[in-house]
Amino acid sequence: MNLHQLSQNLNILARRVGAFIKAEGENFDRSKVEMKGFNNLVSYVDKQAEEQLVEGLRELLPEAGFITEEETDNTKGERFNWIIDPLDGTTNFTHSLPAYSVSVALMDGKEVVLGVVYEPNRDECFWAYKGGGAFCNDKQINVSEAKTIGDSLIATGFPYYEFGLTQQYLKVLGSFMGKSHGVRRLGSAALDLAYVAIGRFEGFFEYNLNAWDVAGGAIIVQEAGGKLSKFTAGGDYIFGREIVASNGHVHQEMLDTIAEHWKSAGK
């Protein structure tokens, strides 16, 4: 398999779907939003974008299966599987806030080997494949060189349901606020990861996530020289529902800061 050529074709597909999303957003009618669950929004734009991605990806790699957020196709492949979030940041999109993205990753067995995160409002396509480095459009990117949280800008996400761990999370946030240049919440985990890869953030952490939220961005961080884990030093951060991503230099300090206040359910 030629991962470089596959990534180029995926970039074209992600850009095409992103252009569709952006065009629909210009005159989006918020009354068309549906609720999958409490505070879990979806629209026809999410669904149609995912259908376009699935159709295009079937042509790129016919033998691959799918793990999709909107369940267009969740037929698993024996070896290869695409992980798709057609519109990461739906709440932002429905409120006309220009911070959302298209995120696609390819898994070979249990390993992510290719990822693309496309942000249509700035026309930035972040992409990477195993062993090939990380890029934004045509420029290679790397994580920042900041050595401490004191020199860092940190990103996170806020839970929009299952609030049982809120007080712990607020204490973790308070610690990062007191140690860093600041904490930001964009509302798109895929973008948060892409921004760690390009050095706009030094670190990102969030819990209660799904594989489609993080898979595309995770390999971009990895190929840009960053580090990833769960809230502990290891673990399955793709399917494990929580993630810490960093430039590598501040990773242990981030884990230590989180550990001061955090005890996940079941730990």
Of 139, 130, 127, 134, nearest in space to 12 by CA: 127
Does the fold of domain 149-259 match that of domain 3-141?
A: no
Query: Is residue 252 over pLDDT 90?
Result: yes
Of the pLDDT bands very low, low, confident and very high (cuts 50, 70, 90), residue 233 is: confident
CB atoms closer than 10 angstroms to residue 233: 12
- CATH number at 149-259: 3.40.190.80
Output the pTM of the full model. 0.93
Tell me the per-residue pLDDT of 105-162, one tens digit each, with 9 for 90 and over. Answer: 999 999 999 999 999 999 999 999 999 999 999 999 999 999 999 999 999 998 766 6
Tell me the per-residue pLDDT of 52-89, one tens digit each, with 9 for 90 and over. Answer: 999 999 999 999 999 998 888 889 999 999 999 999 99
- The predicted model gives 203-214 an average pLDDT of 95
Of 89, 107, 185, 202, nearest in space to 145 by CA: 202
- Which option is the CATH number for 3-141: 3.30.540.10, 3.10.20.30, 3.50.50.60, 3.30.70.590? 3.30.540.10
Tokens of 260: 């001061």
Sequence spans of domains, the chain: 3-141, 149-259
